[in-house]
Amino acid sequence: MATLQDDLGVVDSARKKAQQVAASLLTKTTIPAVAAQAAFLEEISEDAWWQDVSVDMLEDLRKRVRSLVRFLDRVARHVVYTDFEDSLREAKTVDLPVAATGIDTARFNAKIESCFAAYADNPSLKRLRNNEQLTAADIQELERILVDSGVAETGTIESVAEQAGGLGLFLRSILGLERSAVEREFAKFLNRSEFSVEQVRFVGLIVDELSHNGVVNPERLFESPYTDTALRGPQQLFGDQVFPEIIVKLTEIKQKAIPSSLA
């Protein structure tokens, strides 16, 4: 095994793979077997766990995670680390090189999803996901939850939020919007008695993306999969009167994630 051979490169690669598996599993804590190991998965997701890792620790990891990998999405199964052997030799502790800079986006996002799963009834989170106008107090509350839950320090949260255009938009990009809330916003355009099958299908794509990503910028409507439905472009599909209404609606939805005092 890598720890016995002092092969730090191999061990560090194993660390990254194991952490990717843990991040993926932490998005599935509604499964009882995964929920039972959630605390351990959180531990191995942190670089600190790996700093003084031993063969015994790796063997414990293998035994506790191997029964959970079947819950991973098929597209993610290539990251499963399976080259631990059952036969053990003399244990030896190895200090692993830990990257101190940058953020593992997949792990960070998974931790945020896992964190807010426990706050489903929080009023500020409900407003975020139901496309209601957020206030400065809501933003402070959402940041407090992240900090108190140990997801990240205030400086890290402020940094990623700034890059996304605000904490509301950043969290929306991870948590998405309630589909029912999005469908209410676009109810007019989903009316099959007023719009064609192609038009309704196009709006359905918008609803899908907003439900998953929380925001759809107008320029996205000129990219796939939208252009696969509107071969001549969305403006041709809806006309000069209706298409601007869709753009306005997308802008309104985005603005609700930004407190008026910060917009």
**pLDDT tier for residue 241 given thresholds of 50, 70 and 90:** very high
The structure tokens listed for 107 are 């792990």
| Cα 117 → chain centroid | 12
**pLDDT tier for residue 28 given thresholds of 50, 70 and 90:** confident
pLDDT reading at 13 higher than 50:
yes
Q: Which residue has the higher pLDDT, 88 or 20?
A: 20
Among 45-54, 76-85, 135-144, 221-230, the least confident range:
76-85
Query: Which residues make Cβ contacts (< 8 Å) with residue 222, sequence separation at least 6?
Result: 233, 234
The closest of 247, 202, 245, 197 to 226, measured between CA atoms, is 202
Among 48-52, 106-110, 143-147, 237-241, the least confident range:
48-52
Question: Is the CB of residue 92 less than 8 Å from the CB of residue 44?
Answer: no
User: CA 181 to CA 188: how far, in whole Å?
Assistant: 13
Token pair 């929080």 in the structure block, residue: 122
Q: Tens of pLDDT along 152-189?
A: 899 999 999 999 999 999 999 999 999 999 999 999 99
The closest of 103, 101, 100, 122 to 111, measured between CA atoms, is 103
Residue ranges of alpha helices (H) inside the chain are 8-25, 32-36, 38-45, 55-65, 105-117, 123-129, 136-148, 154-164, 167-175, 179-185, 197-213, 226-229, 234-255
Average pLDDT of the segment spanning 39-52: 84
**pLDDT tier for residue 50 given thresholds of 50, 70 and 90:** confident
pLDDT reading at 225 higher than 90:
yes
Q: Tens of pLDDT along 74-117?
A: 544 344 444 444 444 454 444 434 333 456 788 888 999 999 99
Q: Which residue has the higher pLDDT, 99 or 140?
A: 140
Q: What pLDDT sits at residue 92?
A: 44
Question: Is the CB of residue 2 less than 8 Å from the CB of residue 10?
Answer: yes
Residue 245, sorted as left (phi over 0), alpha (psi -120 to 50) or beta, turns out to be alpha
Q: What pLDDT sits at residue 78?
A: 41
Average model confidence (pLDDT) across the chain: 83
Question: Is the CB of residue 147 less than 8 Å from the CB of residue 157?
Answer: yes
Domain boundaries, the chain: 8-79, 105-175, 179-255
The structure tokens listed for 86 are 């059952």
